[in-house]
Amino acid sequence: MDMPTPCPDCGETVEYGEMLAHPNDFNTMVCDSCHDRITEENNQGSEKDNYGNTLSWKATPDYGLIEISLNGEELVGWCYEDEPESVFNEFFTVWKKAQEAAREQQ
């Protein structure tokens, strides 16, 4: 190795020239596998509604596709242009409003 450098995330010693910018912090360099793992973590998430349902999302940036699941079962798949997380947040807001509206009619 020309410049063995410890990855700040996993501690693995890697070649400096092969490190990549941290997906969330461009001043930090991480190894290839941490880069992939952090990118994957950034492209998914989940929230619980007031009724105990879990809504989760997973984005595939290569296809610009976000899939939203309800309690682990796929609900919708949409195309997105900017931030998949903001698409999910909008969906979640509508979801909760619809639940409130349904409850008021009972």
Give the binding site for Zn ion (CB under 5 A).
7, 9-10, 31, 34
CB of 103 to Zn ion, least distance (A): 47
Q: Which residue, 101, 104, 99, is CA-closest to 48?
A: 99
Report CA-CA distances (Å) from 22 to 13, 33, 65, 85, 104. 16, 11, 23, 19, 46
CB of 62 to Zn ion, least distance (A): 22
CB of 3 to Zn ion, least distance (A): 16
Instruction: For residues 50 and 100, give the distance between their C-alpha atoms in angstroms, rounded to a whole number.
Output: 10
Instruction: For residues 25 and 23, give the distance between their C-alpha atoms in angstroms, rounded to a whole number.
Output: 6
In the complex with Zn ion, the residue whose CB is nearer, 4 or 52, is 4
In the complex with Zn ion, the residue whose CB is nearer, 9 or 85, is 9
